Structure 1
């Protein structure tokens, strides 16, 4: 039999042995494997040579050396086969290491233990396997030397022995690893020991450096001097370069200190006792250091002094710090005496330890009392008579009376009999006692009062502002809710203020507002509260009980007063005021409701002629709700496509043809039916919707104009809000480009009321080549200056002025207006022509164009065809009003 007993055959039945057994000493085995430090190391030639030799010696295609880790098989070397990472339980080697005996599998495909392994079923196709465990010590196999063949076979006894020899070679190599690890561990231990010693020495050196303390020794028999590195550093010498003799060491001491040092050392030696001194040393570079040295006498066996041993500490910085502290203390004393705050420090026993000059002056304390180091209670009793310390001092008195007590800092203000206001702050000290500071805050209190006044009052007029007005109103209403009564609120909005501000400038506008505030005060009773709540908006809270008669009388005085002209530096301004009035509890018992209803009444006053007042009525709420619903519908109408354009022809009276069509907006409201612009344009202006709506009209009209004959214009009305747009010119340019139309195709009608909104954009539009018409001329106080200054090419007469053409007594006025147009080089077009008599009068007066129901009603663009070729004299269907 071979000297090696092979393991072969299947495992025992399930139930008698674990499916994936592990060695009994698995933890010890893994420790030995990991202790080698070989896992995951690069390939090594001697291990690869063993695999090549085994493959050639046994004439097999595969040979490999594997190490078995906790959960994996790691291949150290191989020949003829390459291994991917392999699970321990999916390899032959996991079985080999279960004992120190080899494992031979003659035919793995027939062996229930191995037939499903990847090595058997995969590309390698291993049928024969032989594995020798790599045993470091009995029972501790860390890996295997393996042979593999693709056909079933077995090894002879000689072959088995040779394979075992090769495994012994591998184990010897592993033992080299083991020896190397042990050697490295021993080297590390020695190095750690040496480093620990060096570390201790370094710590001693560092400790001396940090404490600026070194040690020295003088051998009295030989006179040899030993200095530590820190003593060398103190004297400006290199490490290890200590003084050679006592004389050399003593030579470093300052000449003024050297004799004293020598006498102290001699006395200590004679008496065999310790000594200490503080002295200066002078280094070779001239720097002076201050040191403190302590020494003892070191006796020999006979009791005589054999050596002197001691320490020396560099206290230069400490000495310098003490000098600086003394200087700082002097500076602190000077600061305390000259600081703006008074300061008093009371110790835990209740004694006033510090009281500066400022405290003595602010508190009017007797100097004799303070020089005697009084208790705080004595100071307090002196001040009680002056009514100064009598408040907020209970906690401090308790602390003074009963020793240290945990109190919190506290601050209070106290007015002295002389009117000075002091801020007194007490801060407890950790050791007991307290520090009190006294700050003169008289000026600050006055400034705070001024700031508080400014926060609640309008800076321009001096009237209460919105916040103060609302606080007073809310308090008044709260009282009404508890106790009953009435109160009245007036909301005021100036009429014509913007025109003054724009014409005369903001400085004049500010002066006007100040004058208005003065007149409002003069028109009210003392108990009434006026306030400025916005730019040119004011509000009044009537004092006492309020009723309609009293409120109306107040409103009438205000309207009359603010109607009077105002002299603004030689230029006279005339404005007015519209007023809305609401009462509590009749119109509401909360501030928001009351102000909202007064504002509704104000809105009604403005809409009914201005420079008047109105009392709130329930119908105003309904009107506001209706207006709100209309506003909501208006915001959605453009998105829903509810708007449409109708066009009215504009005739050239001389040529007898249609020269232009004017785009007129119509709203097909889903509930109210068709609405003309009069029903919603003013609301669109107020809500900001006039701008997107106007842009839609412009783009739609220019698209429709593509179908007009050459030379015919399309007329679009421009609202004041559009004229205020910074990008209006760009919008017009883009709309023309999108429709492919020349600027001359477009004429913009600018209403007289919107001309005041112009900020240079009319000139830009004229430069673009767009036609401009001064619309509704004669409807208001038309400015001839504006007509002459602005680049209008056409004047469009208001409907009322056109209607007067049928009256002979108005013929002169109409001829004057058309004559003015000719003189300024402007064409004149009449709007609202409804009768033949009007048309004849307009022709006779010299009008160059006309439009109205007589000549053509507004109609959708598709219905314009019959009108565009008609004669001027063709009578139209007459109506009593125009579009």
Structure 2
């Protein structure tokens, strides 16, 4: 059924009513607060004016094609809310007036509702409500249907063109209202967002530990957060009433004003400004602040804002740190130590000492690890061990490092360090100190060298030789090699050392060392064990002849003449050889057997070499037994003295006696002086033994006198070592005092070799002894280096002609001539001349004819015990 035009008579009436509805709708627009309220007011206005039976506003469901009744009013309002209305054209419900208006975005009118096929789905409901006409007016927003207004009237042809136009105007007014609602909602949302933003901003400012301020151009506070008040010690209300000038000194106010003024003029913000504020308690606090210019919407400056931070404690700590650094630098300037730090990769980041300020360039170690230098760590594994130590984050102390650069002087440092960790416990590197210890290490090495080398010759000593020998033993055993150990002892060295002095002895040892070095290979080891004893380790000896060849070279080197103290001297050597592995497979056996062979060489006449053999071992054992017993002979009281008379050749009477040492041992029996005296000399025991001999002889002389025997001269022999002993004069003085012996009755016998080499010392010592009243005699004269002319320089009383010249006087004309000359020269010097070793009448007759003063020998008396000599002297007294 098509819409029919409205009648003219009713049209005017409807127009009047519609204007009334429109007016009520406009009023609803003013008072409605929400779209739902607006829709309901519009519906109510349309029905309250009695223009329409029912009015409704529908909107599509966002998830379906069905329409939802947002508001309804009138007699069919409840039925309408229950009706199914769609915008889907394929359904009967969607082909109605609402669906058509929604899809077409234009009014859909049915002025004969009950006959219109479009409204068929709702005829039953409409008939009961008395609906005769209907109109669907789309609510259009943005060119699209927002919803549909639905109106029902009881009259046919109720919706003419004028009425529809007014309804469309009503729809437009609703759209205007909806737009206002939306704008208001947006405004409220923006205001709410602004309030939330401002609240958030204020909360953030209030949560800051740093002070925040906003001031106007005159410095009056606009906003100050709580931290600002706390910083100055005020409550928030009180601090906000005062500007910054009231909390600063006048001088600081000028500084701050200058900063703000510069920001105002330039528009450039300032940061890290250092100012001072006055705390509420009167103290001064240090503040670090920023200044930012605030402008309005037109770009006009209206104030300032910024952040202030109390840096008093930090500044105090900075000052303390600077002072600490100053103290640290002062300490490093006073100390020779270096302070260093590294990064986690162990590269140096800091190296400081008193030299740091003197450097013109950066230390070359900065940025490098210590092992990238020329230093070497004194650790078993070198730098690998050191890096492992660092990787384990271990502390270390006094690790020695040495510069290993060619043509550079020795340089050592001692390094100590510990790992560093930050506040979270993360490793950040190492720090520590190092110091130069070159002088100490050089001294230690020198001491170490001295401990292992002979100080006089520079040769390895016994300790170092022992180490080298043991190393050679291991190598030889591993590779099945043979080597030789040679013990060398210089013959007559003690005689030269004691007679010419230690300086001459040292010179001789240095010269012999140089010669021996030339005689052996560079691979061989020459060492000095002490005194005149040397030892040679001859590497890789293929056979005995090779060892013998080396020994012969050493003997040849030793025997060459050498000038000492202006005199030409010669020494020889005795060499003992042991071979590995035949003569021993350890250090002790090889050294002992080489020593035994050396003593055998001496017994064989010296100046030769001997290989070790089992026979030599037994001889060495005998010597060791002899030496061992000799060392205990004094305490065991095994020594005794025998006395041999000296006889005046003219009268035949006893004028003196010589004390001769004898030794009887329970194990060895009677030991010949020719056997034990050399051993006593070599070991130094002769000094103690000689002191005992002198004291015992003096006591015996005094004892004889106490027996009523006539006082006679007592002769006592001095050994080379006794004469060289610095305590000799004191010993003689003490013995004379202890025994009560008349010094004039004591005669000390010395050999010519003791006095000719160190003439000055000999003259001083003999003169001092002479001043005690003691007589002095030259024993064994004619066998040494002196001449009769030299004797006038010494305070000598007696000259004893050596028995070697007396022995063959009867048959040897040369011995006669020499003896005659000695006697004649002795008489010329007013010396008492004594001939030793007289055993025949012929010898006695010759000596008497040559005007010799005294004789001594078996012809008159052998050496006898004290009682026998007393009887001999007493018998002579009786006659």
What is the TM-score when the length of structure 1 is the normalising length? 0.53
Q: What is the aligned partner in structure 2 of residue 428 from structure 1?
A: 419
**Distance between the aligned counterparts of 2:536 and 2:833, measured in 1?**
49
SS in 1 for 2:807: helix
Cα displacement (A) at 1:721: 3.4
Aligned-residue Cα RMSD (Å) equals 5.3
- The residue correspondences of 1:796-875 to structure 2 (distance < 5 A) are 796-807=800-811, 809=813, 810-864=815-869, 867-868=872-873
Q: CA deviation at 1:811?
A: 1.9
The 8 Å contact of residues 695 and 739 in structure 2, kept in 1 or not, is answered as yes
**Correspondence for 2:534:** 538
Instruction: Give 2:719's aligned residue.
Output: 719
Cα distance in 2 for residues equivalent to 1:716 and 1:390: 71
2:512 to 490, 510, 516: 516
- Find the counterpart in structure 1 of residue 575 from structure 2: 579
Tell me if structure 2 keeps the 8 A contact 1:856–1:867. Answer: no
Gap change, CA 1:395 and 1:561, over 3 Å in 2: closer
2:343 aligned with 1:346: yes
- Judged with a 3 Å threshold, the aligned counterparts in structure 2 of structure 1 residues 838 and 676 are, in CA distance, closer, same or farther, namely same
Query: How far did residue 835 of structure 1 move?
Result: 0.8
1:548 and 2:544 correspond: yes
State how far apart, in whole Å, the 2-side matches of 1:396 and 1:691 are: 61
Q: Secondary structure of 1:614's partner?
A: strand
**1:68-217 matched pairs, under 5 angstroms:** none
Count of residues in correspondence between the two structures: 562
Counterpart of 2:484 (choices 484, 488, 510) is 488
1:603 matched to 2:607 = no
What is the rounded CA distance, in whole Å, between the counterparts of 2:574 and 2:443 in structure 1? 37
SS, match of residue 575 in structure 2: strand
Contact 2:599 2:620 in 1 (8 A): no
**Contact (CA 8 Å) 1:650, 1:659: kept in 2 or not?**
yes
Partner of 1:699: 695
Distance of aligned partners of 1:672 and 1:334 in 2 relative to their CA distance in 1, 3 Å threshold: closer
Separation in structure 1 between the aligned mates of residue 694 and residue 494 of structure 2, nearest angstrom: 29
* Pair 715,435 (structure 1): closer, same or farther in 2 beyond 3 Å: same
Structure 2 residue matching 1:683: 3-state secondary structure: helix
Match of 2:16 in 1: none
| Equivalent in the alignment of 1:14 | none
- In structure 1, the residue corresponding to 2:834 is in which secondary structure? strand
Q: Tell me: CA distance 1:468–1:605, structure 2 relative to 1, closer, same or farther (3 Å).
A: same
Specify whether residues 737 and 478 from structure 1 end up closer, same or farther in structure 2 by C-alpha distance, changes over 3 A only: same
Distance 1:413 1:858, change over 3 A: closer
Distance in structure 2 (CA, Å) of the matches to 1:474 and 1:766: 55
What's the offset of the Cα at 1:564?
Answer: 2.2
Counterparts in 2 of 1:642 and 1:576: CA distance versus 1, 3 Å: closer
Q: The residue matched to 1:820 in structure 2 has which SS?
A: helix
Pairwise CA distance, 1:712: 2.1
Please give the per-residue CA displacement for 1:748-796, whole angstroms capped at 9, x wherever unaligned.
Answer: 2224455569754332221111122111223444454663333221111
Q: Deviations over 1:404-462 (max 9, x none)?
A: x8544496969999999998876311432212689899989996997576765556545
| Match in the other structure for 1:15 | none
The Cα of 1:816 is off from its aligned counterpart by 0.5
**Aligned partners of 1:772 and 1:794: how far apart in 2?**
6
Cα distance, 1:829 vs. partner? 0.7
Of 773, 776, 785, the residue aligned with 1:772 is 776
User: What is the aligned partner in structure 2 of residue 788 from structure 1?
Assistant: 792
1:364 deviates by 7.7
Determine if contact 1:254/1:280 at 8 Å carries over to the other structure: no
In 1, Cα distance between the equivalents of 2:628 and 2:799? 36
Structure 2 residue runs of 5 or longer lacking an equivalent are 1-244, 257-274, 288-310
* TM-score normalised by length of structure 2: 0.53
Per-residue deviation, 1:664: 2.4
SS in 2 for 1:533: strand
Residue 710 of structure 2 aligns to a residue whose secondary structure is coil
Deviations 1:480-500 (CA, angstroms, capped at 9, x unpaired): 445543210112233455566
Distance, in Å, in 2 between the alignment partners of 1:614 and 1:749 is 37
8 Å Cα contact 2:337-2:436 kept in structure 1: no
What CA distance in whole angstroms lies between the structure 2 residues aligned with 1:783 and 1:280?
Answer: 112
SS in 2 for 1:596: helix
Q: Is the 8 A contact 1:650 1:661 kept in 2?
A: yes
Supply the distance in 1 between the matched residues of 2:805 and 2:404 (Cα, whole angstroms).
79
Cα separation, partners in 2 of 1:476 and 1:656, compared to 1, 3 Å: same
* Whole-Å separation in 2 of the counterparts to 1:681 and 1:649: 22
Deviations 1:112-149 (A, max 9, x none): xxxxxxxxxxxxxxxxxxxxxxxxxxxxxxxxxxxxxx
Q: 1:673 to 1:846 in 2, by over 3 A?
A: same
Is the Cα–Cα contact under 8 Å of residues 697 and 716 in structure 2 kept in the other structure? yes
**Superposition deviation, residue 850 in structure 1:** 0.7
Higher mean displacement: 420-429 or 511-520: 420-429
Provide the rounded CA distance (Å) in 2 between the counterparts of 1:766 and 1:865. Answer: 28
Indicate conservation of the 8 Å contact 1:344/1:359, yes or no.
Answer: no
How many Å separate the matches in 2 of 1:793 and 1:494?
Answer: 35
In structure 2, how many angstroms separate the alpha carbons of the residues matched to 1:355 and 1:830? Answer: 87
How far apart in 1 are the matches of 2:342 and 2:832?
94
Deviation of residue 821 (structure 1)?
0.9
Decide whether aligned partners of structure 1 residues 316 and 700 sit closer, same or farther in structure 2, where only a CA change above 3 A counts.
farther
| Distance 1:502-1:362 versus aligned 2 partners, 3 A rule | farther
Q: Hey, what's the Cα distance between the residues in 1 that align with 2:624 and 2:651?
A: 48
**Alpha-carbon displacement from aligned partner over 1:471-522 (angstroms, at most 9, x marks no partner):** 2211112334455432101122334555666777766655554443332222
Task: Name the CA distance, whole Å, in 2 between partners of 1:688 and 1:811.
Answer: 38
| Displacement after TM superposition at 1:687 (Å) | 3.6
The answer as to whether partners of 1:649 and 1:858 remain within 8 angstroms in 2 is: yes
The aligned residue for residue 613 of structure 1 is 609
Secondary structure (helix, strand or coil) at the match of 1:847 reads: coil
Larger Rg over CA atoms: 2
Flag the 1:494–1:543 CA change in 2: closer, same or farther, 3 A.
same
Spell out, residue by residue over 1:625-680, the C-alpha distance to the aligned partner (whole angstroms, 9 max, x if none).
Answer: 22232334334443344333332221111232111122223334335544443343
Q: Distance in 2 between matches of 1:734 and 1:397?
A: 71
Following superposition, the deviation at residue 799 of structure 1 comes to 1.7
User: Deviations 1:387-419 (Å, cap 9, x if unpaired)?
Assistant: 999956876997xxxxxx854449696999999
Distance 2:635 2:477 in 1: 46
Partner of 2:743: 743
Q: Which residue of 2 aligns with 1:648?
A: 644
Q: CA–CA distance in 2 between the matches of 1:427 and 1:254?
A: 49
Q: Name 2:587's counterpart in structure 1.
A: 591
CA contact under 8 A between 1:523 and 1:557: conserved in structure 2?
Answer: yes
Structure 1: how far apart are the matches of 2:681 and 2:548?
31
Q: For residues 223-266 of structure 1, what are the alpha-carbon distances to aligned partners after superposition, in whole Å with 9 as ceiling and x for unaligned?
A: xxxxxxxxxxxxxxxxxxxxxxxxxxx99x987469999xxxxx
Q: Secondary structure at the match of 2:551?
A: helix
